[in-house]
Amino acid sequence: MGNRIENLKEQYPRLLATLEKYGPVEMSTQIRTIKEILIYLDTANESEDVMIKQVFQMHKSMSPGKSGLAEFHFWDNDFEKRSRVNKLLGELKQEIWDILVSDE
């Protein structure tokens, strides 16, 4: 299995755990898609390039418009908590995106 696939297998569970803990009910579609991505990553028997393309399409489906993963920011009255969670979310989303668009 390629390095990019292994990296995705590490990052998506972290994103999933964060969304399950802090995401609103409106993120249920994105949570379901991440679970589908993880199943695909564990069961697909295809080349890394094919798998990356498939995961890329699945990932893009999580941001269909203004209510998608790309636009999601956690809100809490506690500024420190809000900052910490949003920083983590931003880093995870960026790391996953970087893996999906890299040419390794």
Domain borders along the chain are 3-98
Q: What is the pLDDT at residue 92?
A: 97
Token pair listed for 19: 């969304």
Q: What is the pLDDT of residues 61-85, one digit of tens each?
A: 998 877 788 888 899 999 999 999 9
Neighbours of 96 (CB within 10 A): 22
For the chain, percent helix, then strand, then coil, each to nearest 5? 75, 0, 25
2 confidence band (pLDDT: 50, 70, 90): confident
Q: What is the pLDDT at residue 1?
A: 59
Q: What is the pLDDT at residue 104?
A: 61
Token pair listed for 9: 């297998």
Better-predicted residue by pLDDT, 27 or 55 = 55
Q: What is the pLDDT at residue 70?
A: 86
State how far the alpha carbon of 68 is from the alpha carbons of 23, 29, 63, 86, in Å.
11, 9, 4, 15
